[in-house]
Amino acid sequence: MHQRIIYFHSILLSLVLLSPDLARAQESFYKGKTLRIIVGTSAGGGFDTYTRSIARHLGRHIPGQPAIVVDNMPGAGHLIGANHMYKVAKPDGLTIGHFHGGWFLYQLFKRPGIEFDATKF
């Protein structure tokens, strides 16, 4: 039992000591770049206000402190933003989508206008 406790503490200590290196590795990726958040509504609504509130402080919590830009893509009840995320946005870790999550379910119901595959999103 005593050996298990020592083993657990040594693993925990090694994880804590290695975590600053992980943050430094991400810092070089995000430093000087722009993180884009795509919102599926027009400016001034609830989704937009919520996103801008998060964006104001998010950059301080990401290693490298990237610039954060909120990009509104209103129309079709968030569908334009969701389709843009799937078809146009590069999967490079610099784009975040904020739209209605029900579109993934609507894909199962074969709702027209959906141009993304939720399983590959």
**89 has a pLDDT exceeding 60:** yes
Q: pLDDT tens digits, residue range 15-62?
A: 555 555 555 566 688 899 999 999 999 999 888 999 999 999 998 898
Structure tokens at 48: 């937009």
What's the pLDDT tens digit per position in 2-26?
666 665 555 655 555 555 555 556 6
Q: pLDDT digit string (tens) for 54-83?
A: 999 998 898 889 999 999 999 888 889 989
Q: What is the SS3 string spanning the chain?
A: CHHHHHHHHHHHHHHHHHHHHHHHHHHHHHCCCEEEEEECCCCCCHHHHHHHHHHHHHHHHCCCCCEEEEEECCCHHHHHHHHHHHHCCCCCCCEEEECCCCHHHHHHCCCCCCCCCHHHC
Q: Which residues contact residue 48 at a Cβ distance below 8 angstroms, ignoring those fewer than 6 apart?
A: 39, 41, 42, 70, 72
What are 12's two structure tokens? Answer: 């925990």
- Tell me how long the chain is: 121
Is the domain spanning 31-120 CATH 3.40.190.150? The answer is yes
Q: What separation in angstroms does the CA of 75 have from each of 11, 37, 39, 65?
A: 50, 16, 10, 31
The model's pTM is 0.74
Whole-angstrom distance, CA of residue 53 vs CA of residue 19: 28
User: Where are the chain's structural domains?
Assistant: 1-29, 31-120
